[in-house]
Amino acid sequence: MAQLSGDCFAFGGSVLSIDDAVKLLGERLDIVEGGETIALASADGRILARPITAPLALPPFTNSAVDGYALRGEDLPVDREASFAVTDWVQAGAAAAAPAAAGKAIRIFTGAPMPEGADTVFMQEDARAEGGKVTLPSGLRRGANVRPVGEDVAAGQVVLDAGHRLRPQDVAMLAALGLTEVRVRRRLRVAVFSTGNEIVSPGESRAPMQLFDANRFMLIAMLGRLGCDVGDLGILRDDPDATAAVLEHASAHHDLILTSGGVSTGEADYVKQAVEKVGTLVFWRMAIKPGRPVAMGVIGGTPFIGLPGNPVASFITFAYVARPAILALSGSPLPRLPALPVRAAFSYKKKPGRREYVRVSLRKAEDGTLEATKFPREGAGMLSSLVETDGLVELHEQVTGVAPGQNVPFLSYTSLF
């Protein structure tokens, strides 16, 4: 379990900016201990426990980048084309029978090792082969179409850092280096609860004034993408004592507790009270829209994050508060979220002093530029606003509005988890 004491979150009742919150999470949450050694085939998405040092160079031997004819550099035709006798034939996976001889060409194929002495390959498209001879053009640079040993990776080089989340291309690198297993951090165990007397699970009977639980399934899906082991702990009724008991129990078996709903300032928002009963709570009113309130605390040494109940607010605060916490606990650096500039096709008024996220769709304008259109309705409970859009325009604290034609930073949903 991550060990954490309550006083490290002693931020009183102040409203935190996202940047301060994320900085604090990074500084104060300790990496969860424990790892496992797993087969390469199941390594995608896992976090490296140790850096990977290349045990061999890539490519491991100098080879031809094309199908063609290999020559010694000193024999390259300079002013006009020249003909050469073809003396050998090297396929990928085979070795040349003999070193390249002066004034001779060797037929060679992509990936085949360069014969000793040869350093340049002519593409077969540029060659005319006839009866054991080949005519090659002048002007080719010495060393052309050859992949030198180690040009991709040098032996002994660190190719991946500890804390890196493996992607398919990283797994390919490990395989190319001949590794069969990899040491990764163990998956974080995250407990997820929904809260509210009005919430029922899909499949249960729903009274007319009740809602099916959207958040728990959304959070479980997002946690799954972050490689967490999720404990689905169902729905907590609006009852502070029962909530306190369940949270305390969950804290003993998880690295993080995540809830949604019940953290506003209404009388029926009991999660705050419950956390205070069994742990320490610092009510993080964050300067984020949609989002606040987001609660953070510690129960028995286990961090607790209470996301807002409205699904859109829950989604956005997951991405900007829960995810950084999960990355900190996994010892993984925060990815540089690539906010790409797109042209706004909407106007928007904003209060300074808080960060706002606008749900937008992208389209190609007539001049070919990517343009963001704003979802027409703004409610923080409106799931269609997430389903029907492509991502978020991030408006920083000092921004006071957006005018059509202005460049705005866009984050695709796929970059958020």
Binding site for ligand AMP (CB under 6 A): 194, 196, 198-199, 211, 213-216, 260-262, 264, 269, 308-311, 381
Residue type, 297: G
* Residue 59: contacted member of Mg ion, ligand AMP, none (CB under 5 to 8 Å, by partner type): none
Strand order in the sheet with 302-307: 229-236, 189-195, 256-260, 302-307, 295-299, 280-282
Give whichever of 59 and 311 is closer to ligand AMP, judged by the CB atom.
311
311 part of the interface to Mg ion, by CB under 5 A: no
- d(C-alpha 234, C-alpha 201), whole Å: 8
Residue type, 175: A
Give whichever of 153 and 316 is closer to ligand AMP, judged by the CB atom.
316
Please state, as a whole number, how many other Cβ atoms lie within 10 Å of the Cβ of residue 222. Answer: 22
Give whichever of 171 and 312 is closer to Mg ion, judged by the CB atom.
312
Q: How far is the CB of 361 from ligand AMP (least distance, A)?
A: 23
Give whichever of 128 and 237 is closer to ligand AMP, judged by the CB atom.
237
Cα distance from N-terminal residue to C-terminal residue, the chain: 23
Give whichever of 73 and 381 is closer to ligand AMP, judged by the CB atom.
381
Q: How far is the CB of 202 from ligand AMP (least distance, A)?
A: 10
261 part of the interface to Mg ion, by CB under 5 A: yes
Greatest Cα pair distance in the chain: 93
- d(C-alpha 316, C-alpha 382), whole Å: 13
Q: Which residue is nearest to Mg ion (CB)?
A: 196
- d(C-alpha 137, C-alpha 222), whole Å: 58
Residue type, 156: G
The answer to whether residues 31 and 162 touch, using CB atoms and an 8 Å cutoff, is no
* Residue 378: contacted member of ligand AMP, Mg ion, none (CB under 5 to 8 Å, by partner type): none
Q: Which residue of 117, 150, 240, 262 would you call a contact of Mg ion, by CB under 5 A?
A: 262
Q: Which residue is nearest to ligand AMP (CB)?
A: 309
- d(C-alpha 415, C-alpha 363), whole Å: 18
Look up residue 398 and give its two tokens.
Answer: 């000092």
Sketch the per residue contact string, 348 through 367, with Mg ion: x for CB under 5 A, - otherwise.
Answer: --------------------
Give whichever of 314 and 389 is closer to Mg ion, judged by the CB atom.
314
The answer to whether residues 317 and 329 touch, using CB atoms and an 8 Å cutoff, is no
Q: How far is the CB of 378 from ligand AMP (least distance, A)?
A: 15
Q: How far is the CB of 196 from ligand AMP (least distance, A)?
A: 5
Q: How far is the CB of 147 from ligand AMP (least distance, A)?
A: 55
Residue type, 58: L
Give whichever of 261 and 324 is closer to Mg ion, judged by the CB atom.
261
Give whichever of 145 and 260 is closer to ligand AMP, judged by the CB atom.
260
Give whichever of 119 and 238 is closer to Mg ion, judged by the CB atom.
238
Torsion 222-226-231-236 (CA) sign: negative
Give whichever of 261 and 306 is closer to Mg ion, judged by the CB atom.
261
The answer to whether residues 206 and 212 touch, using CB atoms and an 8 Å cutoff, is yes
Torsion 13-394-356-304 (CA) sign: negative
* Residue 72: contacted member of ligand AMP, Mg ion, none (CB under 5 to 8 Å, by partner type): none
* Residue 90: contacted member of ligand AMP, Mg ion, none (CB under 5 to 8 Å, by partner type): none
- d(C-alpha 375, C-alpha 386), whole Å: 9
Stretch that binds Mg ion, among 173-181, 191-199, 276-284, 330-338 (CB under 5 A): 191-199
Q: How far is the CB of 309 from Mg ion (least distance, A)?
A: 5
Phi and psi of 343, rounded to 5°? -90, 130
Phi and psi of 278, rounded to 5°? -110, 0
- At residue 179's C-alpha, the angle toward residues 173 and 180, to 5°, is 120
* Residue 159: contacted member of Mg ion, ligand AMP, none (CB under 5 to 8 Å, by partner type): none
Q: How far is the CB of 199 from ligand AMP (least distance, A)?
A: 5
Q: Which residue of 113, 196, 227, 324 would you call a contact of Mg ion, by CB under 5 A?
A: 196
* Residue 264: contacted member of Mg ion, ligand AMP, none (CB under 5 to 8 Å, by partner type): ligand AMP
DSSP classification of residue 412 = E
Residues that bind Mg ion (CB under 5 A): 196, 261-262, 309
